[in-house]
């Protein structure tokens, strides 16, 4: 019987064996709690003729993904870091003198600043040889989110006297497209960035 599940050397990808890397936030890989993998949507365009309907593929759109990070007190403060991401994207609070508040109100989020605030984002699935120095196949796969920026809700968490869970911060990333580099027999170990 040639069933690969009977092979003891088979190691499937696991939900808990991953790394999130954000070049502008090197501690993200230690603080990540949950990360969605990239999601693509391919639309379908129908064409009707007489009593038949034929479908043709439309556009491929990359959908936003959700990220949840733990918020420690030290050595890094995730609340401050995510707040800085928003400010570095071009957001200015309407505070200060009347003149300063008026100038701040004229600022706007810009794509170049928003993308630059995060830098490059990678999502990596750890391979069976992860953690072994100099061994090929460190990552089972790697996704690069191209031109990613924060969008949608940024949730700084909530307090609860009845919970002992760690405080978390969640946000959504939009990106123009995702690039997949997959491991192979030549011993691929990633394309760059921390990790």
User: For residue range 172-188, what is the model confidence (pLDDT) as tens digits?
Assistant: 999 999 998 765 544 45
What pLDDT does 47 receive?
A: 94
Mean of per-residue pLDDT scores for the chain: 85
Residue 141's pLDDT band, with cuts at 50, 70 and 90, is confident
Average pLDDT over every residue of 122-140: 76
Task: Write down all domains in the chain, each with its CATH number in brackets.
Answer: 12-182 (2.30.110)
pLDDT recorded at residue 187: 45
Q: Exposed, middle or buried by CB within 10 Å (0-12, 13-18, 19+), for 11?
A: middle
What pLDDT does residue 12 have?
Answer: 79
Q: What is the pLDDT of residues 91-130, one digit of tens each?
A: 877 776 777 776 767 677 889 999 999 999 999 988 777 7
Instruction: Give me the pLDDT at residue 193, please.
Output: 59
Q: How far apart are CA 104 and CA 87, in angstroms?
A: 11
pLDDT above 70 (res 81): yes
């Amino acid at each position: 019987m040639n069933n690969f599940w009977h092979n003891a050397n088979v190691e499937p990808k696991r939900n808990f064996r991953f790394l999130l890397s954000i070049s502008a936030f090197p501690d993200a890989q230690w603080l990540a709690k949950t990360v969605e993998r990239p999601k693509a949507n391919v639309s379908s365009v129908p064409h009707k003729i007489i009593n038949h309907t034929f479908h043709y593929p439309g556009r491929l759109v990359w959908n936003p993904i959700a990220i949840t990070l733990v918020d420690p007190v030290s050595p890094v403060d995730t609340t401050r870091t995510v707040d800085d991401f928003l400010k570095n994207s071009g957001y200015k609070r309407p505070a200060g003198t009347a003149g300063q508040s008026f100038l701040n109100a004229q600022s706007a989020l810009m794509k170049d600043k928003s993308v630059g605030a995060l830098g490059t984002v990678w999502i990596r699935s750890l391979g069976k040889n992860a953690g072994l120095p100099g061994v090929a196949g460190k990552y089972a796969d790697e996704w690069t989110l191209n031109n990613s920026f924060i969008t949608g809700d940024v949730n700084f968490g909530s307090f609860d006297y009845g919970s002992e869970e760690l405080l978390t911060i969640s946000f959504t990333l939009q990106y123009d497209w995702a690039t997949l580099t997959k491991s192979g027999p030549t011993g691929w170990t990633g394309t760059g960035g921390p990790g």
